[in-house]
Chain A
Amino acid sequence: MKAPVDYLLHLADNALVLGQRNAEWCGHGPILEEDLALANNSLDLIGQARLLYQHAAEQINGDGALAQRFAHLQGARQEGRITEDTLAYFRDTAEFRNHTVMELPHHGPLVGYAVSERDYAVTIARNFLVSALMVLVWDRLQTSKDAQLAGIAAKSLKEVRYHLPHASDWLVRFGDGTEESHRRAQAAVDHLLPFCEAFWQPGPAERAAAQDGSGVDITTLREPWNALVDETLSEATLTRHDQPHEGYVAQGHVGVHSEHLGFLLAEMQSLARAHPTAVW
C-alpha cells in the first residue's frame, strides 16, 4: 500500500523548507566547521525531500483523480508527467504542507524598529527541536505499511542521528556558555517552542496516514519528545516557558503559513520558474 500523497508532501515539505533555510548559512557560517555542518545537514534534508517527492510523484502520475488535482502545475511538467521538481518548484505557498517552524527566518520576532539579523542560536534551537521530533518520527515510520516510505525512513533515521547530537551539543554550549550566549539561546527557545505546539495537532493528511498504518500517530510522540527536549534543555541550563500552552497554534501543515514562506519560495523557485524546461 501507499501513504496518502498529502502526507508524503507534508514530510517532504518539512525537509525541503528546513533544508533551504539551513542552506542560507552556506558561505556565511559563524566558523568554517559550522558552515560545513549546516551544508551537510541541508544536503541530507533535501535528499530526503527528493526521495519523498519522487514517491509522491509516482502516485500522482499513476492515478487519474490525483493527476487532475495537480493538473494546474501544467507547463512545469516534463513530458506531461509530475516530477520531484514540479512538486518542489511549481507549487505555491498555500500548497505547501510544512510546519510553520521550518520556514521562520534565523532570528527572533521583529518589532517595528528592529533589523533582522541571522542569529545562530535560533538556527541551532530549531534544528534541535525539529531533529528531536524527526528521530522519533523516522524511527516509527520504519515499520510503515508503505514499504517505500519505510525505506526512506530507515535512511533518514541514520541521518537525523547525526543532526540531533550536533544541534543539542551546540545548544548546551550556548545555554551553559556566556551570559550573552545563554540569553540568546533562551530567547530562541522561547520564540520557537510555541510553534512546536503544531506538531501535536495533526492535519487531515497526518490523521489519514496514522489511521491506515502508513503514517505515525504523532500525538503518541509528544511524551518521548518532551523527554528528549527536557533532558538537553536542563543540561543547557535553559528553561521551558511553554507549558501550559494557550493561544494560537501555527497552521503551516494545513497550508496557512507565516509571511516568511513566500519569500523563501520566491528565492528557491525563481530560477526553475524563469526557465521551466531547463536541464543541466
Chain B
Amino acid sequence: MGVTTESSLQAIERALAHLADPEIPVVSLSELGILREVRAGGDGVPEVVITPTYSGCPAMGQIEDDIVATLREAGLPGRVVTQLSPAWTTDWMSEVAKDKLRAYGIAPPQCGSAAATGNSVLQFSRHATRPVDVPCPLCGSRNTTQTAPFGSTACKALYRCLHCLEPFDYFKPY
C-alpha cells in the first residue's frame, strides 16, 4: 500500500471497467454513472468514488462489496468512498448503456432530469414527471401506456405496449 501511481490507478480502472450493476447486469457501473472516479486519497491509498442512485437503493451495499472483492481478487489496494454531490442523474447514462438497456428489455429514460429540462419545483406538482411517450423496447412502437409509476426497483416504472401487448420496465428520468 502507500504510494499511488498513475499506473496503479489505471490498473484499478481496468479491473473495475466491466463490473456490472447487481440489478441490471447488462450495464457496467461506469456506464450507469455510479462509478465516478478512481483517485489518490489524501493518505496515498487509492479511492474508488461511487455515488448512490436513489437514497435508499438497496444495491449500494452490494456494489461496494463487489468493488472491494474485485480489487482484492486482483491484488490491488484501494477503498470505496461514497460521494453525494453532485447528485446522480440519469443524464449521465451513456448512449451505449441506453442501447444495452433497450436490448435487455428496459426502456431507457426518455427525457432529461428535472434539472436538465429546467422544470421548476412547482411543475412537480401535477403531471410533469410523465414523459410524452416511451417507445417499447421490444417492438419499438410508441403506442405505450404507464401501468404504474413505481416498479420492481426504485429506478423503474411499469409500462405496457399497446401494440405488441408486452409489459416492460421503464428506467425513470432522475
Contact = CB atoms under 8 A, between A and B. Distances in A.
A44 B125 contact: no
A43 B154 contact: yes
Nearest to A142: B87
A47 interface: yes
A158 B85 CA distance: 13
Q: How large is the interface on B (under 10, 10 to 19, 20 to 34, 35 or more residues)?
A: 20 to 34
A106 to B, nearest CB: 18
B125 A45 contact: no
20 contacts: A36-B148, A37-B148, A37-B149, A43-B57, A44-B154, A47-B57, A48-B55, A51-B84, A151-B84, A151-B86, A151-B87, A152-B84, A154-B87, A158-B174, A162-B129, A165-B124, A166-B150, A168-B125, A224-B122, A231-B125
Interface-centre pick from B114, B125, B151 (highest chain A CB count, 10 A): B125
A174 to B, nearest CB: 16
Chain B contact residues: over half helix, strand or loop, or mixed? loop
A174 B46 CA distance: 54
Contact of A161 (B56, B86, B114, B151): B114
A164 B86 CA distance: 23
A158 B121 contact: no
A150 interface: yes
A150 B150 contact: no
Count chain B CB atoms within 10 A of each CB in A41, A136, A158, A168 and give the residue with the most. A158
Interface in B2-54: 52, 54
Interface residues of A, number: 42
A33 interface: yes
Contacts of A139: 121
Contacts of A164: 124-125
A69 B172 CA distance: 43
A42 B128 CA distance: 22
Interface string B73-94: 0000000000011111100000
Contacts of A165: 124-130, 149
